[in-house]
Amino acid sequence: MKNKILAGLAVACLSTGALADPDTHGCGWGSLLFEGTSGLAPYVLASTTNGVLMNAPLGMTSNTNGCQTHHPINYGGKSWFAAAEFADDIVEDIAKGEGEALDALATMIGIEQQDRAYFAQLTHQNFAVIAPTSEVTGEQVMQAIDKLLTADNRLAKYVAS
């Protein structure tokens, strides 16, 4: 289970650009190098190449490297939470009130160490709201947790405005 969480975190952190638009690798030299390929590895490599070389700003200002700034930005993918596909582990840990997946979620949300036990307790107490059925999706879990945090005076500071 720990490897599954770490893999999900790695995918989320290293390839946010790749996951954001499933039809392209974005713009930059990584996109040009991996043009015409598909699969997770080329997306991660293209995104990493673009990030390491930091060539997207040059491409965006000069409309080179496959970068175009005159098109509207769109997002057609899933959130990192849904893409990581460890919602079942999160729900299981919320039901128990503790666990590695719940700790990883708290870390990703940015909840500070002194508030993590409170976060675990709050989510556990609201399990029926967060996961009302066994068919709950990752998106529904995150939406419920977001609403729960927003309504809580102590944890509302961790929710993006």
Amino acid at 107: T
Q: So what's the pLDDT on residue 105?
A: 87
Provide mean pLDDT across the span 9-17.
42
The CB density around residue 106, as the number of other CB atoms within 10 Å, is: 21
Report pLDDT digits (tens) over 93-144: 999 999 998 998 888 888 999 999 999 999 999 999 999 998 888 888 888 9
pTM over 0.75: no
Report pLDDT digits (tens) over 28-49: 788 788 788 877 777 778 878 8
Within 13 Å of residue 55, how many CA atoms lie on the same side as its CB? 20
The ranges assigned to domains in the chain are 2-77, 86-158
Of 10, 12, 9, 56, nearest in space to 30 by CA: 56
Report pLDDT digits (tens) over 18-30: 333 434 446 778 8
Expressed in percent and rounded to 5, the helix, strand and coil fractions of the chain are 65, 0, 35
Of 76, 145, 152, 137, nearest in space to 108 by CA: 145
Say which DSSP state 37 is in.
-
Two tokens, residue 124: 């556990």
20 close to 75: Cβ distance less than 8 angstroms: yes
